[in-house]
Amino acid sequence: MKTFIFDCDFQVQPGQFVNVWLPRIDEKPMSVAFADGKELHLTIADVGPFSRAMHELKVGDQVGLRGPYGKAFTFEPNQSIAMVGGGFGSAPLYFTAFHAVQAGCTIDFIIGARREDLLIYRERVEKLKGATLHVSTDDGSVGHKGYNVEILQKLMNEKNYDMIMTCGPEVMMAAVARIADEKKVPAQISLERYMKCGFGLCGNCCVDKTGDAICTKGPVVPLEYVKQVEEFGKYHRDDLGKKHKF
Amino acid sequence: MDTSIDFLGVTFPNPLVLCSGYLGITASTWDNLARKGAGGITTKSIWLNEHKGHNNPVILANEDFICNAVGVPDAGIEKAKEEFKEYLKRNNGVPLIVNIIGGKADDFVAITEAVNELKPQLIEVNISCPNVEDEHGKPFATSCPDAARVTKMVKSVTDIPIIIKLSPNVENIQEIAQAVVEAGADGITAINTYGPGLVIDIDSAQPILANKVGGVSGPGIKPLAVKKVFDIAAAVDVPIIGMGGVKTGRDAIEFMMAGATLVGIGSALYYRGEAAFKIVLDEMVEWCEASGVKSFSEIVKKTHSVLDSSSSL
């Protein structure tokens, strides 16, 4: 896993994505991990041919960036927010937290991963004043042994949040959404679907049953919206439109 | 005003139909657009079997044009069957035009037979794809005999009205139109994309599309598309679905005056968002009401009637 820092003046809101282009290889949507109008950060794991090619780049190499696209996470000043990130979902949540604490929000930042070395952004979050880090790992190598959702559940028994934000594996987000719904707390969920164009024309990221393209309707959508998304937590579609279960 | 219009015996609630290739992969998407004002829905091109598309980037869009090489990805007829069934359940009163495609002439027979069982209101045939049996992979749509042969083969295995979608990349679109109509085409869709075109990223000196070149559509091609529709309407007496860069109600009316009965909405979804159908229709109605037009059918081929009837431009 690497974080790439680009000289890039895009004005990006946390939760938005950019399409990253390597000529003659491919172009993929990537959630922005940080941007301030001068730099743009992307945290990318080495998981396939495209990300492998990214990892082989050297400092000074150029890539194509277009965007930013999609809807961002939103918050009001001085809110109490729980952020639940799984795996690489922590990156856009960190970006959101960075802005939210400046607006006087207090944040419980709950991240989970299979094991300690897969936890990302721990150090960055620990440095944020106003954010409290909570960690879980499947193997118990650090923090709570089990799921981050269990931490959320426990915290919610002790305190009231104004907002829950989540980004990560969909099964985890579906669990977060259920808890938020039960406790009647507003939530924002960052949906991931197979996106090609990024601006609502190709139709590859349209979800059942609403039929909306998630690249423009989302990726961040409110809890009320995912309740209409029949496939949420159940299945997604591939580049040909075929369904695959989570 | 009553915005409905008849096309090959099918009543469309309004003349604006989704162009094939935009969005339409799933029943939910078709239904969503129907509920947002589409008068008809054309599916993406359906292959008999799975067909991989191109890598990204597949679509480039700017204020002047759209250039795409998506590569016609599709999961094949089995997935399509599931989506049809689901769409029918939604029962929204908006007709479905199923667009089919094949690589060889025989493929069109097999896909037509499969689609025929699903009883869609209309079948649109995409013959702009390369003919894999042709030495140079020349599209069926660029040759009178090839276009006629595919039309005849499709027609021979279905009673559902068939519409042939023509390519503008020919010198003789009137002859092609006559050839497909003589072979049994019930209607014509015009036009498919121009090109191919090339868009280069000057920072890397690389073509941006993964396929390097792509079909050009959008506002930049509108006058070219209107001319093709006019020429086809002058040459043959079948109803036409006209398309190419429609962005406003005035644009749609222009296509109807050139000879279109239905008008495709595609790039407008980029320029005006998912409300495009409703906005464009409202603009059409507003113009009609201000101009004393009581029904859209009155304006179909209007420009032909104000010119010398035998004129070609």
Q: What is the pLDDT of residues B112-153, one digit of tens each?
A: 999 999 999 999 999 988 778 888 888 999 999 999 999 999
Whether residue B12 lies inside any domain: the answer is yes
Strands A17-22 and A64-69: antiparallel
Q: Nearest 5°: phi and psi at A64?
A: -90, 135
What is the rounded average pLDDT for all residues in chain A?
Answer: 96
pLDDT tens digit string along B240-250? Answer: 999 999 999 99
Say if B111 is an interface residue toward chain A (CB within 8 Å): no
Q: Please, which pLDDT band fits residue B309 given cuts at 50, 70 and 90?
A: low
Q: What is the pLDDT of residue A106?
A: 98
The answer to whether the CB atoms of A208 and B208 lie below 8 A apart is no
- Spatial contact of A188 and A74, defined as CB atoms under 8 Å apart: yes
Convert the pLDDT of each residue in A72-114 to its tens digit: 999 999 999 999 999 889 999 999 999 999 999 999 999 998 8
Q: Report the relative pairing of strands B213-217 and B194-198 from DSSP bridges.
A: antiparallel
pLDDT at B136: 83
Q: Indicate whether B186 belongs to any domain.
A: yes
* Residues in chain A within 8 Å Cβ distance of B206: 23-24
- Helix (H/G/I), strand (E/B), else coil: A66: strand
Strand pairing report for B96-100 and B40-42: parallel
Contact across the interface for A64 and B208, Cβ inside 8 Å: yes
ipTM of the complex as predicted? 0.93
* Alpha-carbon distance B206 to nearest alpha carbon in chain A (angstroms): 7
The answer to whether position B160 is within a domain reads yes
Reply yes or no on whether the pLDDT at B312 is more than 70: no
**B313 is a domain residue:** no
Q: Which residue of chain A has the CA closest to B90? A: A209
B129 catalytic, yes or no? yes
Contact A110, A134 (CB under 8 A): yes
- Interstrand relation of B96-100 and B66-68 (parallel, antiparallel or unpaired): unpaired
Do you know the residue count of chain B?
313
Q: So what's the pLDDT on residue B311?
A: 59
Task: Residue A28: list chain B partners with CB under 8 A.
Answer: 56
How far apart CA B122 and CA B112 sit, in angstroms, is 11
Please give the torsion angle defined by the CA atoms of residues A204, A209, A213 and A216, in that order, rounded to the nearest 10 degrees. -160
Task: Give the residue extent of every domain in chain A.
Answer: 2-69, 80-245
The CATH number of the domain holding residue B145 is 3.20.20.70
pLDDT digits (tens, 9 = 90+) for B74-96: 999 999 999 999 999 999 999 99
pLDDT (mean) for B251-269: 98
Residue B167 lies in a domain: yes
Q: Which of A85-94, B131-140, B165-174, B304-313 has the lowest mean pLDDT?
A: B304-313
Answer whether residue B310 shows pLDDT above 80: no
**Structural domain boundaries, residue B198:** 5-306
What is the CATH number assigned to the segment(s) A2-69?
2.40.30.10
Which residues of chain A are under the pLDDT cut of 70? none
* Catalytic residue from among B19, B67, B129, B288: B129
Classify domain A80-245 by CATH architecture. 3-Layer(aba) Sandwich (3.40)
The Cα A207–Cα A140 span in angstroms is 35
Task: Answer for the pair B284, B268: CB distance below 8 angstroms, yes or no.
Answer: no
Round to whole Å and give the CA distance between A48 and A50.
6
Number of domains into which chain B is organized: 1
Q: Tell me the percentage of chain B whose pLDDT exceeds 70.
A: 99
CB pairs under 8 A between A and B: 108
Nearest to B28 among A23, A200, A210 (CB): A210
What is the rounded average pLDDT for all residues in chain B?
95
Residue B130: predicted pLDDT: 78
Q: Give the pLDDT confidence score for residue B137 in this predicted structure.
A: 83
How distant is the Cα of A23 from the closest Cα of chain B, in angstroms? Answer: 7
- pLDDT score for B244: 98
Whether A202 sits inside 8 A of B23 (CB atoms) is yes
Using a 10 angstrom Cβ sphere, with 0-12 exposed, 13-18 middle and 19 or more buried, the burial of residue A64 is: middle
Examine the pLDDT at B313 and tell me if it is beyond 80.
no
Q: Is A87 left (phi over 0), alpha (psi -120 to 50) or beta?
A: left
Q: Is B89 exposed, middle or buried (0-12, 13-18, 19+ CB in 10 A)?
A: exposed
- The span from the CA of B160 to the CA of B110, in Å, is 15
| pLDDT the model gives residue B180 | 98
How much of chain B, in percent, has pLDDT values that exceed 90? Answer: 93
| For residues B46-57, average pLDDT | 96
Calpha distance A14→A220 (Å, rounded): 10
What's the rounded Cα separation, in Å, for the pair A217 and B201? 28
Inside any domain, residue B16: yes
Crossing angle of helices B173-182 and B222-235, rounded to 10°: 50
Question: Which residues of chain B are within 8 Å of residue A207 when distances are taken between CB atoms?
Answer: 28
Answer yes or no: is B42 within a domain: yes
